[in-house]
Amino acid sequence: MKKLIAAAVAAAVIAPASVMAAGPTLYGKLHLGVESHDNNGSSADGTQYDEWSLNTRSSRIGVKGSEDLGNGMKVGYLIEWDVRMDGDGSDMGQRNRAVTLSGDWGTALAGRWDTPFKTVGRKIDMFGDQAGDLRNLNGDQDFRLDNVVAYVTPNMNGFSATIAYSFDAGTGCSDSTTACSGDNQDADAWSFNAIYNNGPLLVALGYTDADDAGQPSTTTTGGFALDSTTGLVTGAAPVTSANNTDNLSAWRLGGSYAFGDFKVAASYTDFDNVGFVDGADTDVWTLGASYKMGNNKIKFQYADRDETSSAADDGADMWALGIDHAMSKRTTVYAIYASTDNDDGSARTSWRGGNSSNSGVGTGGEKADTLAVGIIHKF
């Protein structure tokens, strides 16, 4: 009898512990597409890129879990890696990864993570990780930063906010002549968002700022070289000029509304000092719509990017038309046609955003057209 009582007591003690410590969960997203890319370049001057290819688009695998600490507190973790499903490049590139501590007061996070500014754009994009992804025109500052600490508020009737700080975002240290170490070269960054997502309505505001520490103070152009064919020295004398750098910053306002099966989405993004170049400012506005019919969804999206200056002539616009077919809750097949129209100083494409294969580049002043069919499976 004493042995039975002892066994019962032991079971009562051990069982809650096993419930409180949730084991790790494996998850992933596998995304492959067969795509045609055409930058309408010239074969005569070597700018042409017109190819069919197999592309992996942000395929990933990860592990996540949590443990209940009691008193409403919970510790969690997530570690995610890039997976090259087409075999090009190398696997296990770093994606989001963090340790979290949460309670009624919200969630604290530490690790490598998407900025809150980037999160706003991902919620609006109807072609995320596909051909026609808004990042082709709108992703200059959609960063995933290292050394991040962040705080996320509790969800309050659909409203939540996030603020994040990176001790060293890794955006500096591009000048090979600089030691790039110590406090004087830390390129920190911070970002926040405020999101209201309740029922059919989503409204989101985001901001980001990245320090220009570590950016090169000068640029050298020109230089002499030996022509291997003629044996003559060619080129111009090197010219060194000062770089006028400044912090990257941007704010983004976006929203969507669902009228039953019909949904509309729009956003506006204002960029300051693109590429850390002082005065290189531009803006992008987007508009999208989708209509769901059973397991099918037809969607359209348009984006327009203004030029940073009339001299640069680097504006562009992009549109995409596609159809998704849900074969199950976890598997989707799709077909998309997307096109980017570049000004003379722009060489953007309609396919590089979200494309891990990152094939091909655009041609200045020309269209960049994509036809894609693909499959997405989540587990």
> Could you report the per-residue pLDDT of 60-95, keeping only the tens digit for each?
999 999 999 999 999 999 999 999 999 988 889 999
Radius of gyration over alpha carbons of the chain, in Å? 25
Structure token pair of residue 370:
């994509």
3-state class (DSSP) for residue 278:
coil
Prediction pTM value: 0.85
**Residue 308 vs residue 5, higher pLDDT:** 308
Mean pLDDT for 187-204 is 96
Q: What is the pLDDT of residue 219?
A: 65
Structure token pair of residue 24:
């790790």
Q: What is the pLDDT of residue 243?
A: 74
Around Cβ 156, how many Cβ atoms within 10 Å?
9
Pairing of the two strands 201-210 and 21-38 = unpaired
Measured in whole angstroms, the distance separating CA 308 from the mean position of its chain's CA atoms is 22
DSSP letters spanning 87-124: S-S-S-EEEEEEEEEEETTEEEEEEEEE-HHHHHHHHH
Mean pLDDT for 306-331 is 96
Q: Which residue has the tokens 């600089």?
A: 178
d(CA 186, CA 169) in angstroms, rounded, equals: 8
Of the chain, the percentage scoring pLDDT greater than 70 comes to: 83
CA angle 197, 200, 202 (to 5 degrees): 35
**pLDDT at position 1 over 50:** no
Task: List all residues 6 or more positions away from 92 whose beta carbon is below 8 Å from its beta carbon.
Answer: 81, 82, 83
Closest CA to 141 of 318, 282, 300: 282
Mean pLDDT for 231-246 is 66
Mean pLDDT for 342-348 is 95
Write the pLDDT tens digit of every residue in 109-166: 999 999 999 999 999 999 999 999 999 999 888 989 999 999 999 999 999 999 999 9
DSSP alpha helix (H) spans, the chain:
2-20, 116-124, 135-138
Closest CA to 379 of 62, 54, 58, 4: 62
Backbone angles phi, psi at 70, to 5 degrees: 85, 165
**pLDDT at position 20 over 60:** no
Q: What is the pLDDT of residue 175?
A: 43
Q: How confident is the model at residue 186 (pLDDT cuts 50, 70, 90)?
A: low
Q: How confident is the model at residue 357 (pLDDT cuts 50, 70, 90)?
A: confident
Q: What is the pLDDT of residue 178?
A: 43
Mean pLDDT for 220-236 is 58
**Residue 178 vs residue 188, higher pLDDT:** 188
d(CA 96, CA 76) in angstroms, rounded, equals: 14
CB 170 within 8 A of CB 146: yes
Write the pLDDT tens digit of every residue in 22-63: 689 999 999 999 999 999 998 888 889 999 999 999 999 999
Q: Which residues pair with 321 in a beta bridge?
A: 300, 337
**pLDDT at position 376 over 90:** yes
Of the chain, the percentage scoring pLDDT greater than 90 comes to: 69
Direct distance between the N- and C-terminal alpha carbons of the chain, in angstroms, rounded to an integer: 48
Q: How confident is the model at residue 17 (pLDDT cuts 50, 70, 90)?
A: very low
Q: What is the pLDDT of residue 244?
A: 83
Mean pLDDT for 227-254 is 73
Lowest mean pLDDT segment, chosen from 18-27, 160-169, 224-233? 224-233
Structure token pair of residue 301:
């999206």
For the chain, which domains are there? Answer: 25-378 (2.40.160.10)
CB 364 within 8 A of CB 349: no
- Average pLDDT value for the chain: 87
